[in-house]
Amino acid sequence: MALKQHLSQKLLQKLSPQQIQLMKLLQVPTVAIEARIKEELEKNPALDEGRDEEEDEFSEQEEQYDDSLPEKTEAEKEFDFSDYIDDEPTYKYSISNKSADEEEKSIPYSTGKSFRERLEDQLDMQDLDEQEYFIADYILGSLDDSGYLRREVSAVVDDLAFTQNVNTDEKTVERLLKVIQTFDPPGIGGRDLRECLLIQLKKKTVNTVEIITAKAILSDYFEAYIKKHYKKILEGLEIDEIALKSADEEIKKLNPKPGSSGSDSRSSQVVIPDFILTVNDDDELELNLNSRNAPELRVSKKYSGLIEDYQKSSGKTTKTQKETFTFIKQKLDSAKWFIDAIKQRQQTLLLTMQTIIEHQKEYFISGDETKLKPMILKDIAEVIHMDISTVSRVANSKYIQTSFGTFILKSFFSESLTNSEGEEVSTREVKKILDVAIGNENKQKPLTDQALADLLKEKGYNIARRTVAKYREQLNIPVARLRKEL
């Protein structure tokens, strides 16, 4: 078959580097955009932060200072070699003129031992030989963040043999684990929740009737207790409801995660809002973008001046000068693209958020979740004439601060359903009604999913029982049997 050449036209959609950069910047929150801007400032010398007035003032001072100096050559004008050469001796940056009586003021730093170090201190006080100490220390290293030993004893024995070249048996590991279970905080070294709670009960110095009953419940009726089959416990232990309730209160005082309670480094997430919504004196909503999203960026005048000097220069240019010019031009173009992307990001964020506020105006004025209207990404995209993916990127990991709390933007989007009057309402409204109903229920006889469905029907929401179960799970609310209390 002979080869042939022919012309054809095709319609293709290709994203430019600027568009790709904008999409990446659009989806990151305030904290990440700060790090991204800092990274760009360090990477691109043609990008500066600050106002032009400061640069102008600095330039005027520099020109006045330069008038008193000899005129620089052409090479010195392009590159200041003093920026790259550090010929100052180090002794000029240090002083040793303090007197012996001078008080040295320093900031005190609070130090403390970690959770693992406190356990090792308790291990050091045990009467163990070298191999036993090594095995016990290995067990401590196998505990998870909650203080549990989630691995089988046989697996620990195998690991010691294959990875540490230490031969031992399950009986020895069990004995050393019992030693660790006597450490503080109580409950350390438990292999499951039941053993962890029993360890804490056994460490109590006074054995009251309630504690003895609690031990019996955890030892013999743990499955029935966690599933709240109280009738089976009452019949099995031959006790009344008062005794069961007293034992239940003792169990609830125990710590299910002793390792977390002894940890110094507790993870805490600080939410920095991307938008701030306030109510002005005229009772109107006023939206502002977090100032961290709007840094003052500009193109360095020093680098743009180098381009102008190169264009004004006459005569032939060397290869090195051309490469330098190309490098500077690339950095200047990159700086301009980044500044434009940041500005466009700010405009898109404000436009999208303002449209969301107009759509959910009743909610943002009152703070009542039942006032939320059904809203999907497409509703906002059609108003601002942008793609759904753009709205999705804006709503991703972004928060707004209001007078009644700080919320993630995704929480304002919800599907719709029709009530008995034919009106479309948000599923958030139904979830709020479910949450309130479950919070006000009789805990001795909690409402089943069918009872909740009947309650919603009385309020005009015709929802099936399986839909109620789905909404309940989304609210992280257990079934009626697990919500039962004595």
Side chain identity at residue 62, one-letter code: E
Both tokens of 285, joined, read 């909503």
Give strand pairing partners of 408. Answer: 399
Establish if 432 belongs to a structural domain. yes
Listed residues 261, 294, 317: the one ending a domain: 261
Contacts of 128 (CB under 8 A, 6+ apart): 136, 176, 179
User: According to the model, what pLDDT value does residue 424 have?
Assistant: 66
Left, alpha or beta for 463 (phi > 0: left; psi -120 to 50: alpha)? Answer: beta
User: According to the model, what pLDDT value does residue 355 have?
Assistant: 92
Question: Are 257 and 119 contained in the same domain?
Answer: yes
Average pLDDT over residues 180-196: 89
Establish if 3 belongs to a structural domain. no
pLDDT at 79 over 60: no
Listed residues 233, 261, 289: the one ending a domain: 261
Contact 433, 395 (CB under 8 A): no
What CA–CA distance (Å, rounded) separates 15 from 81?
41
Question: Are 120 and 189 contained in the same domain?
Answer: yes
Question: Are 338 and 280 contained in the same domain?
Answer: yes
Both tokens of 407, joined, read 């919320």
Digit-coded pLDDT (tens) for 390-447: 888 888 778 888 888 888 888 888 777 776 666 667 777 788 888 888 888 888 888 8
Digit-coded pLDDT (tens) for 106-158: 444 445 577 788 888 888 888 888 888 998 889 888 888 888 888 898 998 99
Domain that holds residue 160: 115-261
Helices (H), 238-318: 241-252, 258-261, 301-312
Question: Are 164 and 287 contained in the same domain?
Answer: no
Give strand pairing partners of 425. Answer: 417
Question: Are 322 and 428 contained in the same domain?
Answer: no
Return the H-helix or E-strand segment holding 381.
helix 377-384
3-state secondary structure of 47: strand
Listed residues 397, 412, 427: the one ending a domain: 412
Question: Are 119 and 252 contained in the same domain?
Answer: yes
Average pLDDT of the residues of the chain: 78
Task: Please give the tally of structural domains in the chain.
Answer: 3
Digit-coded pLDDT (tens) for 273-302: 888 888 877 778 888 888 776 667 788 777
Give the CATH number of the domain where residue 424 resides: 1.10.10.60
The pTM (predicted TM-score) of the whole model is: 0.55
Question: Are 336 and 391 contained in the same domain?
Answer: yes
